[in-house]
């Protein structure tokens, strides 16, 4: 498992995915501790998308 931090939280991803099917990402919100599951994507894209997700009412 690989864990990376970013301004709004932490992302955990499998070190190796099962075959060609990319493993999903688990995000831990830095402020609330809430967990959410995301499709596999580059970290910079996740940071942008998670920021949009957090801004939703």
Place 53 in a pLDDT band, splitting at 50, 70 and 90: very high
How high is the pLDDT of residue 20? 57
Q: Helix, strand or coil for residue 55?
A: helix
Distance of CA 41 to the CA centre of its chain: 8
pLDDT of residue 14: 84
Taking only the tens place, the pLDDT of each residue in 27-52 is: 999 999 999 999 999 999 999 999 99
pLDDT in tens, 12-26: 988 775 555 567 899
Task: Map residue 56 onto helix, strand or coil.
Answer: coil
Give every CB contact of residue 34 below 8 A, 6+ residues apart in sequence.
Answer: 28
Predicted model pTM: 0.80
Strand partners, 29: 9
Q: Name 29's Cβ contacts closer than 8 Å, sequence gap at least 6.
A: 8, 9, 35, 36, 54
């Amino acid at each position: 498992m690989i864990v990376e931090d970013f301004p709004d939280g932490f992302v955990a991803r499998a070190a190796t995915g099962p075959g060609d099917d990319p493993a999903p990402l688990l995000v831990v919100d830095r402020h609330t501790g809430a967990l959410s599951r995301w499709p596999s994507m580059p970290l910079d894209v996740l940071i942008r998308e998670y920021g949009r997700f957090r801004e939703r009412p």
